[in-house]
């Protein structure tokens, strides 16, 4: 179990996701202009990495290759954030389209380490797909972030690293996603169990709690030496009875929490170093 208490905190923002409808949450950044404006403000507030899901002209989730490329280019032009594309997409996306996300040449990509029930749906990540995604990311010089929705996914990460070796960049960064209906519960006990089971090759980890588990998971993560993921992909409620107005206020709050715990936010350059970006 990694026991270090790092001096700084990487704040990842996941601003959009694939699950929430624009009609239900008009402040969700779904257009490219909205995403870029949000990304610029989140970087200024302390975010180091942006986890991106793209929407189409009707605000629906898409893995359209042109939109993905344009989004990566626009984020690079406007910010220094580490640009991570989701290869999880939506539960309806075919595996081939999810593999093709790498063609947009992001800095980083998510790789979910196993299948999980996802509400009434199934988020499919069969072992051969996970291995192929890992190998394609390595060949494309894209740094992965391993998403762990369940304790079994931690075990799959052991198997993946044992089978395939280290990813591009030589670092192993993973992210616990707690509180998805069908995955690990959003509890401190589940987080502690997951962290205790991590492979020793893991060099950094973050966590996010879905919905009402967002704040308790963030507090426990900081205390355990982890990094933070926040954003409207995961949480739409800022406080009891008060909806999130923008991703920026979630990043600002994460930065305040991190500073109070004497682990101020990492710069974007620090984020790149942490993740092994720029290392050949
Ligand atoms: N939208 C979920 C089905 C990822 O981005 O890699 C999957 C997800 C994970 O959000
Ligand atoms: Zn995602």
pLDDT along the chain (280 residues), means of 10: 81 98 98 98 98 98 98 98 98 98 98 98 98 98 98 98 98 98 98 98 98 97 98 98 98 98 97 87
Phi, psi of 57 (to 5 degrees): -65, -20
Of all ligands present, the nearest one to the C-alpha of 182 is 1
What span, in angstroms and rounded, lies between the C-alpha atoms of 270 and 48?
8
Nearest CA residue ID for atom 7, ligand 1: 88
> Quick one: which of 220, 219, 249 has its CA closest to 232?
249
Pocket (CB within 6 angstroms of ligand 1): 17-19, 86-88, 90-91, 110, 112, 118, 123, 147
Q: How far is the CA of 208 from the centre of ligand 2 (A)?
A: 11
Look at residue 31 in the predicted model and tell me its pLDDT: 98
Q: Which atom of ligand 1 is found nearest the CA of 147?
A: 6
- Count the helix, strand and coil residues of the chain and give each as a percent rounded to the nearest 5: 40, 20, 40
Look at residue 202 in the predicted model and tell me its pLDDT: 98
For 228-262, how does the pLDDT look when each residue is reduced to its tens digit (9 = 90+)? 999 999 999 999 999 999 999 999 999 999 999 99
Q: CB of 30 within 8 A of CB of 49?
A: no
In whole angstroms, how far apart are CA 186 and each of 92, 203, 215?
24, 23, 10
Give percent above pLDDT 90 in the chain. 97
Nearest CA residue ID for atom 9, ligand 1: 88
Tokens, residue 234: 């995961």
Number of helical H runs and strand E runs in the chain:
9, 14
Task: Give me Rg for the CA atoms of the chain.
Answer: 17
Predicted TM-score (pTM) above 0.95: yes
Look at residue 3 in the predicted model and tell me its pLDDT: 57
Look at residue 75 in the predicted model and tell me its pLDDT: 98
Look at residue 278 in the predicted model and tell me its pLDDT: 79
Give the DSSP H or E segment for 174. strand 173-178
């Amino acid at each position: 179990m990694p026991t270090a208490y790092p001096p700084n905190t990487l704040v990842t923002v996941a601003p959009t996701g694939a699950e929430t409808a624009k009609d239900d949450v008009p402040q969700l950044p779904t257009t490219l202009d909205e995403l870029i404006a949000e990304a610029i403000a989140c970087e200024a507030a302390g975010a180091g990495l942006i986890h991106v899901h793209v929407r189409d002209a009707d605000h629906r989730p898409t893995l359209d290759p042109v939109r993905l490329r344009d989004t990566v280019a626009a984020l690079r032009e406007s910010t220094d954030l580490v640009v991570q594309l989701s290869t999880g997409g939506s539960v309806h996306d075919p595996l081939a389209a999810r593999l093709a996300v790498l063609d947009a040449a992001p800095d980083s990509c998510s790789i979910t380490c196993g299948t999980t029930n996802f509400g009434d749906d199934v988020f499919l990540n069969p072992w051969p797909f996970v291995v192929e995604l890992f190998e394609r990311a390595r060949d494309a010089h894209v740094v992965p972030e391993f998403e762990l929705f369940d304790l079994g996914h931690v075990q799959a990460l052991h198997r993946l690293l044992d089978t395939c070796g280290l990813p591009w960049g030589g670092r192993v960064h993973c992210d616990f996603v707690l509180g998805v209906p069908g995955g690990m519960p959003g509890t401190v006990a589940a987080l502690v169990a997951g962290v205790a089971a991590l492979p020793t090759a893991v060099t950094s980890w973050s966590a996010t709690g879905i919905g009402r588990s967002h704040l308790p998971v963030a507090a426990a993560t900081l205390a355990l030496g982890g990094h933070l993921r926040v954003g409207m992909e995961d949480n739409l409620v800022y406080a009891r009875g008060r909806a999130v107005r923008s991703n920026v206020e979630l990043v600002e709050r994460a930065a305040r929490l991190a500073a109070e715990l004497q682990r101020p936010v990492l710069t974007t350059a620090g984020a790149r170093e942490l993740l092994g970006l720029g290392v050949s």
